[in-house]
Each structure stands twice: as structure tokens, then as C-alpha cells.
A and B are shown apart, each in its own frame.
Chain A
Amino acid sequence: MAFQPRSIAQFSEAAVTVDLDKCIAHKGCTVCIDVCPMDILEIDPQTGKAFMKRDECWYCLPCQKDCPTGAIHVAIPYLLR
């Protein structure tokens, strides 16, 4: 066998966190996912709720401001905090 290419998964703390009790994504809401300019939020198939999937947040706040139930909190990403 030749050398095998491998990737390493880095881990990051999510700057955007979701209150699962308040999030209504399981009822079809996609507001935060729609308005994110960087498209970093998705619905977790396990919980049906929104979550931050990618470490590319611009801390711009449309997701937090536009969420109809106040379920989103955006923290300043750690590297800038």
C-alpha cells in the first residue's frame, strides 16, 4: 500500500448558539438559515433545530435579529473576542 492521504477535522467553538426550547425550525421555520450571508447555519436532522455548522461567522447578527422566537445568540468569534 502506498501512502494514504488523510484529512484532520479541527474543532471550533460555535459562535452562534441556539436555544432548542425556543427554536421552531422543526415546524418549518428557516429564517436564520435564509438570512445568514455566509450560509453557515443548517437544520440538525437529529433535533430538527437550527445549528451552526461552519466556522465562518461574520458576527453580523441578521440571524439573531430576525429570529421570530429569540432562539439565536451570536457571540463574537473567540479569535476576535
Chain B
Amino acid sequence: MSHQLDTRESAYDIVVVGGGTAGPMAAIKAKERNPELRVLLLDKAHVKRSGAISMGMDGLNNAVVPGYATPEQYTKEITIANDGIVDQSTVYAYAKHSFTTIEQLDRWGVKFEKDANGDYAMRKVHHMGTYVLPMPEGHDVKKVLYRQLKRARVEITNRIIATRLLTAADGSVNGVMGFDSRTADFHVIRAKAVILACGAAGRLGLPASGYLMGTYENPTNAGDGYVMAYHAGAELANLECYQINPLIKDYNGPACAYVAGPLGGYTANSRGERFIECDYWSGQMMLEFYQELQGGNGPVFLKLNHLAEETIQTIETILHSNERPSRGQFHANRGTDYRHQMVEMHISEIGFCSGHSASGVHVNARAETTVPGLYAAGDMAAVPHNYMLGAFTYGWFAGESAAERASSRDFTPVDAEQVARERARIYAPLLRDHGLPALQVEYKLRRFVNDYLQPPKVTRKYELALERFAEIGEDLGQLHARDAHELMRCAEASVIRDCAEMAARASLFRTESRWGLYHLRVDYPERNDAEWFCHAHLKKDESGRMSHHKRPVEPYIVPIAEQERDAYDRLRVAPKAPAEKTAATV
């Protein structure tokens, strides 16, 4: 390739980074709020098939549908499931808007399961309430979104990887920098408001298979949004509340107890016995899962082989056509038939994701980060357990909030120094004639993440991890890329390193255990509400280092009764016989 390294400059009222789930909704709602605005949707892949739902989704995990649940009940459920560390204003804002979002998607053509009366066919999976709405024909979500993006006249640019945000003299965000992963052209895009919707940090830990891209999350979601927000000065919340998921072993896709659960399937131990009362993913559930995996009754399985043929066919049809449709082929290769064998499950590597847990960029109920002009939505925005419907809903909020800002403001001057610095940083691997390959550095980095950061968390291991991550930081200065694609992997290696350091430092800061397995610190094994009933925020300080502070949990809108607070701590199925009960804590 020719290394002309052109810089291309453009300007849009709003730039949305990430065209997966939250991003398209944000772009559409920004245009609806003010059709005069020029809105650019930027994607490192192709908007048609990008993000966590590239192949659709098999259900809504958190639908708040009138007649089944109220926003207050949902807010209570998520507050308890997240061990109380929740700004209820954000969860409540989601819950109140949840049904409006469903109706919008329904009108656009997303298919949800309905009963004979045409009502949504709600199912119970959570510990307390009913929030699951199956989408057996949910494979067309991205097509539906793409049609609406075109209709709304949102401009789309694919194959641009955003790497840093531009900030104005007053600290507000005024643009995005990145490069084309095919031509290596450098892009400077000025903006009045920027919405980050870059998904989870899904390439943090290394899958047990050792295959770099064998991740649960779409591997394009390397954590770019977390790192861009961090370097722009935004606060990140509760990063120590990792994402760890119960997945199909090796395949690393969801076993989908949410799909199978309402039809009679369940998570079982090697004896085929249920050991958790509720398959809804929470840190507490993951701790029980982990203990069963490690214990004499392990490993853990998804059990379907007791179900009727007709039911199994229904489950197969849903699971093998939605979200991760190659799992049918995986099972066939291994000779696993839902009718005869249980499906072996395993625990995933760690990541950041507020869609499933609570680790994300701090936002308020308007999707505003702590940096003016910067908004965040979807898996990377810290609204606990927000899932796909929360991504759509906060994308909606972000689009409207950003449109309001962009409608009443002018562009601010771009700092040429920031552009020059980023251009030099990004292009360095392309200009070396030899050096380290990005994927090899990434492998080593992610292996260290597994070795040192995978819970249970041990303080000394975390301190060693910081030394290793600093060394990897030096290795980044020796990366060599032979083309624009490899340059993208180099940029991602830097993102993953920053996320790894954030994960380690955030975990060391919170000297207690909370959220079950997600933040299980062996040398601080107890939950300590007296000192740690608060958010832990991480941000870049004036000297460029990671700093931490506590932020109080907002006063609850929906009160939690004393006897309800620990409902998610009682997930283990009680033993039948009065046999000796093993301690539930490590």
C-alpha cells in the first residue's frame, strides 16, 4: 500500500461513534429532534452488520411492559441485583421509557413474540419480576435499523476506527479523530456534540480456548469507547464490577437460559440438578456458578434433555437462527444434541460492560457524561444491566440531548497540537520497518489479564499485573503494522492495555467484596457498606494518571425494604436432605 497518510477534515453537528445498537437509535432520534442537523454515524465495521446484535437478538431481557411490571418494580429489581450501587434516576428513566422504545421498534418492524390476543408474550426469568420478551424472529433487527437510518437521512461512514476525542479550551468535546482501516487516511471530524456508543470492552480477558477472537462480545468491541472517554477526561464508574458470563464452553456464546428457561430448560450441575433458583445473570449468580464449577458437582451444564421434542425444536429454531447462529454447527461438531446431552458450560473471561453488569462511562438520565458535549449509550454507558433495550433507550436519550446542545451552539476551534500528537501516535507502527505484531502483543496482554485479574481477586496479583501492563505499554512503542488493517489492531492493543490498567486500578481501589464474583477480593472478603456503599469513579487527573474517588449513591426514588435487599444473595437452591451445608462464601 502507499503510505500517503492523508488527513481528511470534515465537520458535522453531531458525530455518533458506533453503529451497533445504541448508535443508530441516537442518530435517528437526533435527526428527529432537529432535522436541520447534520448527523454522522461512524462505524469501525459496517453499520449493516456491526455490533453486539449483528445477527439479531433472541429476546428482550429487561422489557418493562404494563400489566407485567411497573418501572418502580424494575428499578427495585435492578437495584437489588446490583447490590444497591445504582443511581436509580438512570434505571428509572430507562424503565419509564422501556415500553415506548418497544413500541417504536415494533412500528419499525422488529418482531416480538405475541400471544393469541396480540399482546406481548412476557416470560419470567429474573429472581423477582417478569421482564423477558422473546424475539424468535429477531434476526432482522439490523436491517430494520438500517432502513430507518436511511429514512432519517443520517450520514454513514464505515470502516473508520475512532481513536481519540478532540477537546476545546474549556474542556468540552469538539470532535473525533480516527483513521480508515483500509486506506489508513487520518480523519479529523469536528462536532458540536459527540455520542459514544462503542459497545463493551469485550477483548479484555483471553478466552479459555486461547483464540483471540473467540470472545462473547463482538470482537470489534475492544473497549475503544471507554478509552476515548477516559482520555477526554470523563469519569468511569465501577469498572471493578466486571462482566463475567456463563457461556457455552469453548464456543463462548450464551447458552441462553433466557430462551430455554421459560420453556423448562435450566442451568444444572453434573448430576443434572438445579443449583441456582434463578438463571438471570448477576454477580451473585456467577459466584454460585463459579463455586459449582470448582466443586465436586461441577462442571456446569445447560439442561434441556428432559424436554419434549416439540419444545426442543422450538429452542433450536430460536438459538440457531439468532444472535450467535453458528452454535448449531458447534454442537453438531461435538456431537451434542439437546435431546440427549446436556450442554457443557464455562465461565467467561473478564470484560467491561454495563449492558450486563455495571462497568461503564458514568452518565446521567440524559446520557450526558461528566464532559460537556460528550454523551454515551449502550454497553459502555454505566446504567446497570441495561441490555439491548437499554442501549436503544439511552441511545434515544443521547440523540435528543446531543441535538439540543448542537442546535444552540457553534463549532469551537480545533487544537492543532492534539491532532498532530494523535496522528503521530497512530501512525508510528506503520512507519517502523520492523517490530512486534499487534496480535502477539494482544495475546500476551490478554493472557496477563487472565493470569492476574480473573476473580477471585488477590491484591498482590493485581499489583504484579500493573507492572506487566506497564511493560506492555513499552512494547506498544515497538509495534509494527504492514497495512491499515494491522494498524487498526495496533490501535486496539493500546485500547486493551488501557482497559486492563483501569480494571486493575479500579479493583484495587475498592477494598471490599461486592457483586458476587464480579468483585470478589479474597483479602477483603466481606461487603463493607459502611465504607463502600458508594460508586467508585476513575478519571484521568491533571498529571495524566488514573485517579479514583468515591461518589455517593443518589438517594433512592424507589425504597428497598430491609428484607428485600439481599434477595439476590439467596440464589442457591436449598439442599433437600439436612446434609451438611457448605458455606456460600469463599
Contact = CB atoms under 8 A, between A and B. Distances in A.
Interface in A31-62: 34-39, 54, 56-62
B55 A80 contact: no
Contact of B325 (A37, A61, A77): A61
A77 B211 CA distance: 9
B437 A7 contact: yes
A3 to B, nearest CB: 11
Given A62-B55, A76-B333, A79-B209, A38 B219 contact: yes
Contacts of B324: 60
B48 A58 contact: no
B218 A80 contact: no
Nearest to B252: A80
Interface in A63-78: 65-66, 74-77
A5 B250 contact: no
- Please report whether the interface of chain B is mostly helix, strand, loop or mixed according to DSSP: loop
Interface in B416-447: 434-435, 437, 439
Contacts of B485: 39, 54
B248 to A, nearest CB: 10
**Interface bracket on B:** 35 or more
Contacts of A81: 330, 333
B351 to A, nearest CB: 15
B215 interface: yes
A35 B220 contact: no
B147 interface: no
B252 A37 contact: no
Contact of A61 (B181, B251, B252, B326): B326
Contact of B55 (A36, A39, A60, A79): A60
Contacts of A80: 209, 211, 214, 250-252, 330
A58 B209 contact: no
B181 A39 contact: yes
A35 B48 contact: yes
Contacts of B220: 37-38
Contacts of A60: 49, 54-55, 218, 324, 326
B347 to A, nearest CB: 16
B219 A76 contact: no
Contact of B54 (A5, A37, A56, A74): A37
Contacts of A66: 49
A36 B210 contact: no
A37 B218 contact: yes
A76 B211 contact: no
Most buried by A among B439, B485, B488: B485
B159 interface: yes
A56 B181 contact: no
Contacts of A54: 485
A37 B46 contact: yes
A61 B250 CA distance: 17
B213 A34 contact: no
Given A60-B55, A61-B55, A34 B48 contact: yes
A62 B46 CA distance: 11
Contacts of B434: 5, 7
B494 to A, nearest CB: 17
B171 to A, nearest CB: 33
B45 A79 contact: no
Given A35-B48, A37-B46, A79 B330 contact: no
B330 A37 contact: no
Contacts of B211: 77, 79-80
Interface string B203-244: 000000111111100111000000000000000000000000
7 tightest Cβ-Cβ pairs between the two chains A and B: A79-B211, A35-B49, A37-B45, A62-B49, A5-B434, A59-B326, A80-B250
Given A35-B46, A37-B45, A79-B211, 6 more contacts: A5-B434, A5-B435, A59-B326, A61-B326, A62-B55, A75-B329
Interface of A: 5, 7, 34-39, 54, 56-62, 65-66, 74-77, 79-81
8 contacts: A7-B437, A39-B182, A57-B213, A61-B326, A76-B333, A79-B210, A79-B214, A80-B330
